[in-house]
């Protein structure tokens, strides 16, 4: 997969407001529930008969649909061994604070307050969490969220008819928050099918799940948006729905009006922790591909090409002479990777993958990750205004590799003054022999606004390598004489190499 640098400033949602619906809370020795409902397609042939006209005009009601899909939806209960630090327990014989009288904490304090182990010892408690899921085959394979079954010591599912079964975890994928579980001993479970149609904004959807442990709850709404990046992982591509989903719905399905699963409920945006009509589903296409690998291998293998990329901002597009701010700008082609072997270089803009335009760096990462290691792809690249095509043979992504989306603030103030001092890298200990080292940054200047810090190394300006102040000034002068308002700088920091579009007046 491509490696992209994180964009913390442009994440769609703040981490504090984004709730994974499968969270587990502990109150004394009691526990609280988890996550959103999942997805799946129903096996019953009757689904195909559910109105074509309904999908076009909207159903008068959902009762017939629910009667067919609900048997495939399950409640998932897990037990997790939670280790608590006894140093934080109340002191022996400590009096119960008056504010705790009559509250649930009173029972907890009475139970543990006088008996808690001391001296940094740890105690183990079994915490129960509740989520949702759905069967995808008659022989007991079911889908839920990774965060619902993560670290589970035991998994138990309850079907719509109230029967309870023990399940085992077949495989999980943290990057897409999906898990595959299996119930043995039966071959006649009702199940759901993944939709093969492309979901459309405005289509009716129905979510079924286990909110707050209530079980078998149905909510309805529409698809509000597609392709949402909520900052939860490198392959974010969520469907946004307004059908209410809450804690306990994690892993449950969202159905279209034909009874097919269009997505797996995973997260909500909420200031309060409850539904405000903004929920996020893993698309059926993603879930289907991941589940297939989990079923066959127990894990997911992804391909990568070995580049660090960042989005093409308006400033970068202008500095490169691009008509649109699209594509993925290569910051670094890592050594001994498919990209480097194929000839990809820093400063290249990847504009198409197998003939399909690349809109941005995250899209490139997602597309590559769905392909098999060993396959060959064609990358269309723009290099210094010239179009080139490279054949790249994908490799297996190492376990430590992860895609990150970069955000390099481009600023808005146009000024001929950069607000920094530099020295040749060869004259600064530990800076290496290439480029010029930033020795001082004016806190009120444009360089500071664009994230420059002392110790950064400027490797090139406008595609031209620089090794001293004279070359740096000439590169800036050449860019201005060409009528450019911004110039692209390749910058090496302690962590990585990236590009910054600097205004030059």
List, by residue number, the catalytic residues.
147, 177, 250
Name the nearest CA neighbour of 210 among 297, 120, 106, 129.
Answer: 129
Q: CA angle, corner 192, sides to 187 and 197, nearest 5?
A: 145
**279-283 and 261-269 strand pairing:** antiparallel
Helix H or strand E encompassing 178: strand 178-182
**307-311 and 3-4 strand pairing:** parallel
Helix H or strand E encompassing 226: strand 217-228
Longest dimension (CA), the chain: 80
**Which residues are CB-contacts of 186 (< 8 A; sequence separation ≥ 6)?**
139, 140, 165
Question: Quick one: three-class SS letters along 12-62?
Answer: CCCCCCEEECCCCCEECCEECCCCCCECCCCCCHHHHHCCHHHHHHCCCCC
CA distance 274 to 73: 22
**356-357 and 303-304 strand pairing:** unpaired
Tell me the DSSP string of 429-459: TTS-SSSEEEEEE-TTSHHHHTT--TT-EEE
Structure tokens at 395: 């490799």
CB 41 within 8 A of CB 261: yes
> How many residues are given for the chain?
505
Start-end of H helices in 113-195: 146-149
Q: What is the DSSP letter of 360?
A: -
Structure tokens at 72: 């495939």
Structure tokens at 407: 């955000």
CB 501 within 8 A of CB 477: no
CB 245 within 8 A of CB 22: no
CA distance 404 to 304: 13
CA distance between the termini of the chain: 37
Residue 137: count of CB within 10 angstroms of its CB:
16
CA distance 164 to 183: 10
CA distance 40 to 3: 31
152 DSSP β-pair partners: 80
């Amino acid at each position: 997969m491509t490696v992209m640098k994180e964009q913390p400033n442009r994440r769609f949602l703040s981490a504090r407001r984004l709730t994974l619906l499968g969270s587990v809370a502990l109150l004394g020795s009691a526990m609280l529930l988890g996550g959103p409902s999942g997805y799946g397609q129903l096996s019953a042939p009757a689904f195909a008969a559910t109105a074509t006209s309904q999908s076009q005009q909207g159903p008068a009601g959902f009762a017939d649909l629910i009667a067919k899909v609900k048997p495939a939806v399950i409640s998932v209960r897990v037990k997790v061994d939670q280790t608590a630090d006894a140093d934080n327990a109340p002191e022996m014989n400590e009096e119960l604070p008056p504010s705790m009288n009559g509250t649930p904490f009173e029972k907890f304090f009475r139970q543990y307050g006088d008996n808690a182990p001391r001296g940094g010892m740890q105690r183990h408690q079994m915490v129960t969490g509740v989520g949702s899921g759905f069967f995808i085959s008659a022989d007991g394979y079911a889908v839920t969220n990774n965060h619902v079954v993560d670290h589970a010591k035991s998994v138990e599912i309850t079907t719509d008819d109230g029967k309870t079964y023990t399940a085992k975890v077949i495989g999980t994928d943290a990057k897409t928050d999906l898990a595959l579980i299996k119930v043995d001993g039966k071959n006649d479970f009702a199940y759901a099918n993944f939709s093969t149609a492309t979901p459309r904004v405005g289509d009716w959807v129905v979510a079924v799940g286990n909110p707050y442990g209530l079980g078998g709850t149905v909510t309805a709404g529409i698809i509000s948006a597609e392709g949402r990046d909520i900052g939860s992982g490198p392959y974010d591509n969520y469907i946004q729905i307004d059908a209410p989903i809450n804690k306990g719905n994690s892993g449950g399905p969202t159905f279209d009006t034909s009874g097919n699963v269009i997505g797996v409920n995973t997260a909500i945006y909420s200031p309060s922790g409850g539904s405000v009509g903004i929920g996020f589903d893993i698309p059926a296409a993603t879930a289907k591909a991941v589940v297939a690998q989990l079923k066959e291998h127990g894990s997911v293998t992804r391909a990568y090409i070995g580049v660090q990329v960042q989005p093409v901002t308006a400033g970068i597009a202008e500095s490169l002479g691009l008509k649109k701010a699209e594509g993925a700008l290569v910051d670094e082609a890592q050594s001994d990777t498919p990209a480097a072997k194929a000839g990809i270089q820093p400063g290249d803009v990847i504009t198409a993958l197998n003939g399909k335009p690349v809109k941005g760096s995250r899209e490139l990462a997602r597309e590559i990750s769905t392909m098999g290691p060993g396959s060959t792809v064609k990358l269309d690249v723009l290099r210094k205004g010239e179009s080139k095509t490279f054949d790249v043979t994908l490799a297996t992504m190492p376990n430590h590799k992860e895609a990150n989306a970069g955000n390099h603030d481009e600023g808005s103030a146009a000024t001929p003054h950069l607000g920094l001092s530099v020295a040749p890298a060869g004259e600064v200990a530990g800076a290496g022999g290439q480029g010029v080292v930033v020795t001082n940054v004016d806190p009120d200047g444009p360089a500071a606004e664009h994230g420059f810090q002392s110790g950064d190394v400027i490797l090139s300006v406008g595609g031209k390598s620089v090794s001293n102040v004279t070359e740096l000034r000439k590169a800036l002068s050449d860019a201005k004489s060409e009528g450019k308002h911004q110039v692209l700088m390749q910058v090496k920091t302690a962590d990585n190499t990236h590009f910054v579009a600097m205004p030059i007046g």
